[in-house]
């Protein structure tokens, strides 16, 4: 992950697989990867725009293995009651590459309540300066 004053960018990679199982049609063997590059530009006053598609690959699938979304999202960070930080996000992603019966579009919505743990002796600040 890389962070500058206005930009947050990076990538998350995950692969989950089974040990054992059967690989025939309807079998229980699996190996699935998710790849999530992300880019966010902070506009100020809690607003941000960016993209965070979740690409998937089903390594044991017959035929189409990949789902590759393309899209964008917008988010707003604010304090509920002037104290509790909340992040609201809404995004839309089109899947030009997808499994045969995969979805054409995905809508992503998120409500995140942000809690910060305070270390002993540390002064409490719920939101970094510039994001409040």
Q: Do the domain assignments include residue 104?
A: yes
Domain count, the chain: 1
Q: Do the domain assignments include residue 128?
A: no
Q: Do the domain assignments include residue 77?
A: yes
- The pLDDT of residue 132 is 46
Cβ neighbour number for residue 68 with a 10 Å cutoff: 16
Q: Do the domain assignments include residue 11?
A: yes
Q: Do the domain assignments include residue 125?
A: no
HEC string of 39-58 equals EEEEEECCEEEEECCCEEEE
Residue 52: give the domain boundaries.
2-113
Q: Do the domain assignments include residue 124?
A: no
- The pLDDT of residue 119 is 72
Cβ neighbour number for residue 67 with a 10 Å cutoff: 21
- The pLDDT of residue 128 is 52
Task: Report residues of the chain scoring pLDDT below 50.
Answer: 131-132
Q: Do the domain assignments include residue 84?
A: yes
- The pLDDT of residue 12 is 97
Q: Do the domain assignments include residue 86?
A: yes
């Amino acid at each position: 992950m890389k962070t500058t004053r206005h930009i947050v960018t990076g990538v998350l990679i995950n692969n989950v697989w089974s040990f054992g199982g059967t690989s025939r049609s309807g079998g229980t063997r699996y190996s699935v990867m998710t790849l999530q590059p992300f880019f966010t530009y902070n506009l100020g006053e809690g607003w941000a725009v960016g993209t965070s598609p979740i690409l998937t690959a089903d390594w044991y699938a017959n035929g189409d293995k990949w789902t590759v979304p393309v899209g964008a999202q917008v988010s707003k960070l604010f304090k509920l009651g002037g104290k509790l930080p909340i992040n609201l996000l809404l995004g839309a992603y089109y899947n030009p590459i997808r499994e045969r019966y995969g979805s054409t579009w995905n809508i992503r919505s998120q409500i995140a309540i942000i809690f910060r743990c305070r270390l002993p002796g540390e002064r409490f600040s719920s939101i970094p300066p510039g994001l409040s």
